[in-house]
Structure 1
């Protein structure tokens, strides 16, 4: 009797093992098929990863970008019509390096400095000019460094304008929502 029970148990185990082996073979075949189908889209997956990386790089690289054409246009628009900008020097933060701040504790935080040479045939009203550039996006403060008159009677005003983070154009900022 024991021999019959052991024989039935061994037979049932063999049938179960064969069924499990068939299930395993079917699952391996399905896995192989799915892997082959995924290989068809490897270029798409690679492109998606590269696109995400590029988007992140643009966000970092563009995080300190200022639209200088608009900023200079705003400065030019703030000055009297008979004034021309003869020179421009720009110093600003980069994605890898913060902008150096003033040691003066009363100075506000800034991310860029715009220094211009403006020429005028008439004696400039510098305080009016300093007030006029306050409308420039990101304006922090403005100072006049020098006012000179050349031999032809043309006045040159060297002016420094500091900008804060509101001057950033946020063109590559992450989209919300």
Structure 2
């Protein structure tokens, strides 16, 4: 009885094409497997890098970081101290310079005061002169050159007429002259009441027209006309004058202009 066994697969001979069963389906060549991607691997090894391994305990690493922070803090403190020292030194130098300047100014003030004391008499004299000039200016603000004014008044009268008496009333630097309460009468600074004798019957209008030519004339009123025993006449006239009659002798030139 013959035993029929399975036929062993024949080994393909070199140079011969194998059976179609041994070829990949589709007739393509088998592709080589790609190496694992470095990007897709979380713990991919960097090729060519020096191998490293941190074998120190975490406590030592933390201590090193703490020491580095402490060194940074100490450096900051030292820098702040240096800035404070420099600022203090600059302030000290400034104070010393300011004190020196103040001392120099005080010395100069003392020197000037000494010079002023040496010339105090001259200064006092100048002050007295200035005070006198001011007092003279104020006191002379109401000055009238009466000698010249009466001479001019006499010149306005007709020939042969002579002034025999004059009564003058004026204001002062501290008290103004009282003004008239009569309406339309001009302002006045004084009143002259004079008497004059005339050998003939006087023409009062002619006298008044002559008086109107005087500086500061405001108005004039005849008071009375009387005949004397020798045949002459006595005339009394009241005349008012204004500020134009002031002489201005004591007014500084710059104010007068």
> TM-score w.r.t. structure 1 length?
0.86
1:154 CA displacement: 1.5
Q: Distance in 2 between matches of 1:102 and 1:116?
A: 19
Distance 1:89 1:41, change over 3 A: same
Greater RCO (Cα-Cα under 8 Å, separation 6 or more): 1
RMSD across aligned positions (CA): 2.3
1:86 — aligned with what? 164
Matched position secondary structure for 2:163: strand
1:168 — aligned with what? 246
Distance 1:59 1:12, change over 3 A: closer
Task: Give yes or no for the alignment of 1:75 onto 2:147.
Answer: no
1:115 — aligned with what? 193
Q: Distance in 2 between matches of 1:8 and 1:134?
A: 91
Matched position secondary structure for 1:29: helix
1:95 — aligned with what? 173
1:155 — aligned with what? 233
Deviates more, 1:116-125 or 1:53-62: 53-62
1:36 — aligned with what? 114
Number of aligned residue pairs: 177
Q: Distance in 2 between matches of 1:22 and 1:110?
A: 67
2:9 — aligned with what? none
Gaps of 5+ in 1: none
1:57 — aligned with what? 135
Distance 1:80 1:34, change over 3 A: same
Name the larger-Rg structure: 2
1:143 — aligned with what? 221
Deviates more, 1:147-156 or 1:14-23: 14-23
Matched position secondary structure for 2:200: coil
